[in-house]
Chains A and B, each alone.
Chain A
């Protein structure tokens, strides 16, 4: 599917189609995120997170990072969402809407988020005003990524494995029942 999309980018009109795709995905992501944050139903929130994650995966595809998109779907959607759902289940969230999921002073959070967003937006606008993506964008082949991981980033990779192991043990220890 990525070849299809990229082929279209190569031509002028192709790029215009890609943009449309991007804007659709972006809109979906943002709406889902907003809903996730505001909904009173915990399960709905997790489902909205599902939507956001898949939108992000789509973005990766647009950017040509197919391996990343694949892992995103596999790890995030597959593992983490399942984990969160388990969490929701274990903490016996009520079916249906709950009442006070938010702090009463929601507006402080909104204010902080908005100001942060404004500042970031302004800086992005200032920084990357007219920067265009490179025209001859070639999708980053997976075996190149694999070579890269196992050559320059071998140390972080190993450290990562240790981290995961530690997290695993930690989670087990913390959550043990006895």
Chain B
């Protein structure tokens, strides 16, 4: 069982997540893609944890999960707020910070 299997899996998922973030217009979908990226990272962590027979990989994975939870909470709150103001959560239209 090659370590690379897991790392390749993580990389692919990561890239799909990135694609998701870059192309999706819907705020929630973008959050989902971010979740996907975070999971890719977790796989890497656990893989290396197992590879090195060291628990820190798993512990960090847990922390990442917790943070991800927090992040989704806040992200959704913001998305809902935008939705309430603009009736749509299309990311492209929220460009007030245009230079």
Q: Is chain B in direct contact with chain A in the complex (CB below 8 A)?
A: yes
Interface residue SS majority, chain A: helix
Contact between chains at A160 and B24 (CB < 8 Å)? no
A80 (CB) vs chain B CBs: closest residue: B72
B7 (CB) vs chain A CBs: closest residue: A124
A112 within 8 A of B: yes
Contact A49/B51 with A87-B80, A109-B22, A145-B58 known, Cβ cut-off 8 Å = no
Chain B: residues with Cβ within 8 Å of the partner, total of: 69
Contact between chains at B80 and A91 (CB < 8 Å)? yes
B94 within 8 A of A: no
Residues of A within 8 A of B16 (CB): 30, 33-34, 36-37, 113
Pair count A-B, CB < 8 A: 243
Give min CB distance, A42 to chain B, whole Å: 6
Give min CB distance, A35 to chain B, whole Å: 10
Binding site for A on B (CB under 8 A): 1-9, 11-29, 31-33, 35-36, 39, 42-43, 46-47, 49-51, 53, 55-59, 61-63, 65-74, 76-81, 83, 89, 92
Binding site for B on A (CB under 8 A): 9, 15, 18-19, 22-23, 26, 29-30, 33-34, 36-37, 42, 45-46, 49, 52-53, 56, 59-60, 63-65, 67-68, 71-72, 75-76, 79-80, 83-84, 86-88, 90-91, 93, 98, 100-103, 106, 108-110, 112-114, 116-117, 120-121, 124-125, 128-134, 137-138, 140, 144-145, 148-149, 152-153, 156, 160, 163-164, 166-168, 170-172, 174-175
Question: What would be 18 A-B contacts, judged by CB atoms less than 8 Å apart?
Answer: A37-B20, A52-B36, A63-B46, A63-B47, A71-B65, A72-B42, A76-B68, A80-B69, A84-B35, A88-B28, A101-B25, A108-B22, A113-B22, A124-B7, A132-B3, A149-B59, A171-B73, A175-B80
